[in-house]
């Protein structure tokens, strides 16, 4: 029996969207209710042909003049294709590199924008600004390699808008998770986009579980097994912190933040699994 492409509900008489040609339940049948990519593409085509956004008024030459687009105003994230002409992955890598330079050239930059759990209530911008910061060149390089390796492929699968949404929501959830654990265990500050990367990799593990990766850049594993391995490591580290134990090697990880990002990846992965899953085996490092 057919399933809704948005929520997965089994429906006996599905509605087929004329814009994206996917099948949906009655609740998600409208393009606005299933985040329809086809509708956006249609609107872009119509806008380019001058069929959307024109008033009935004419100028002195008798030609129609452009005014405001009919319908509700689009959110900026709906126009991400226009706002970011290059890939989102490359854009975020460039932002991370620029912020890293500022960390070492602007006095007080790190102290002002890093995620310090003790200061978040008074300075909430730290939840966001810390995402693009890194604690040293090695930290930046590792996160950049992971983002480049997975991001450029996953961005093609999801599209710019969904890819950006998962990355930022997971990174922001990671900041919140670390802030809560930091206040409980007295740790901090923290910086980095690793929580967002956990979200991306976990989502990929749900929709493409047979993808092959290199854990720690040397151990070949399926992506699903790699995610389970890192989740166990971070869970053990959180448990150790709760008992006041600092473990070697993994003791300094922002593990609560990682696990928060992982949960976001699971949420979006299972939400979009039917839409983006594939049975083809892929090796991300070929």
Residue 195 · residue 267 · CB < 8 Å: no
Read off the pLDDT band of 47 (50, 70, 90): low
Domain residue limits, the chain: 15-74, 80-276
Does this model's pTM top 0.95? My answer is no
Half-sphere CA count of 260, side-chain side, radius 13 A: 23
Instruction: Calculate the alpha carbon distances from 193 to 10, 101, 230, 260 in Å.
Output: 37, 16, 16, 12
Q: Which tokens sit at 105?
A: 């050239």
Query: Partners of 222 in the beta sheet?
Result: 212
pLDDT above 90: residue 210? no
Distance CA 34, CA 26 (A): 11
Contacts of 183 (CB under 8 A, 6+ apart): 117, 118
Read off the pLDDT band of 81 (50, 70, 90): low
Distance CA 54, CA 56 (A): 7
Domain 80-276 has CATH 1.20.1540.10: yes
The model's pLDDT over 269-279, given as tens digits with 9 standing for 90+, comes to: 998 888 776 54
The model's pLDDT over 64-76, given as tens digits with 9 standing for 90+, comes to: 444 444 444 455 4
Question: What value does the mean pLDDT of the chain take?
Answer: 80
């Amino acid at each position: 029996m057919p399933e809704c492409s948005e929520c997965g509900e089994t429906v006996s008489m599905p509605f087929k969207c004329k814009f994206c040609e996917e099948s949906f339940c009655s609740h998600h049948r409208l393009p606005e209710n299933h985040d329809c990519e086809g509708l956006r593409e249609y609107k872009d085509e119509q806008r380019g042909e001058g069929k959307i956004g024109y008033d009935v008024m004419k100028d002195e030459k008798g030609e129609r003049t452009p005014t405001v687009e009919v319908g509700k105003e689009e959110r900026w994230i709906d126009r991400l294709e226009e706002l970011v002409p290059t890939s989102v992955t490359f854009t975020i890598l460039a932002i991370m590199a620029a912020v890293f330079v500022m960390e070492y050239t602007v006095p007080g930059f790190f102290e002002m924008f890093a995620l310090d759990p003790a200061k978040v209530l008074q300075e909430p911008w730290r939840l966001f600004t810390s995402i693009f910061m890194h604690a040293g060149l090695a930290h930046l390089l590792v996160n950049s390699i992971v983002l480049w390796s997975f991001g450029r492929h996953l961005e093609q699968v999801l599209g710019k808008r969904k890819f950006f949404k998962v990355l930022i929501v997971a990174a922001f959830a990671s900041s919140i998770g670390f802030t809560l654990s930091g206040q409980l265990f007295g740790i901090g500050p923290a910086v980095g986009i690793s929580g967002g990367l956990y979200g991306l990799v976990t989502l990929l593990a749900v929709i493409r579980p047979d993808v092959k990766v290199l854990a720690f850049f040397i151990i070949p594993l399926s992506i699903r097994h790699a995610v389970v391995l890192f989740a166990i490591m971070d869970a053990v580290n959180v448990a150790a912190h709760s008992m006041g134990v600092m473990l070697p090697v993994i003791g300094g990880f922002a593990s609560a933040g990682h696990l928060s990002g992982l949960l976001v990846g699971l949420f979006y992965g299972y939400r979009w699994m039917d839409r983006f899953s594939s049975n083809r085996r892929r090796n991300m490092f070929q």
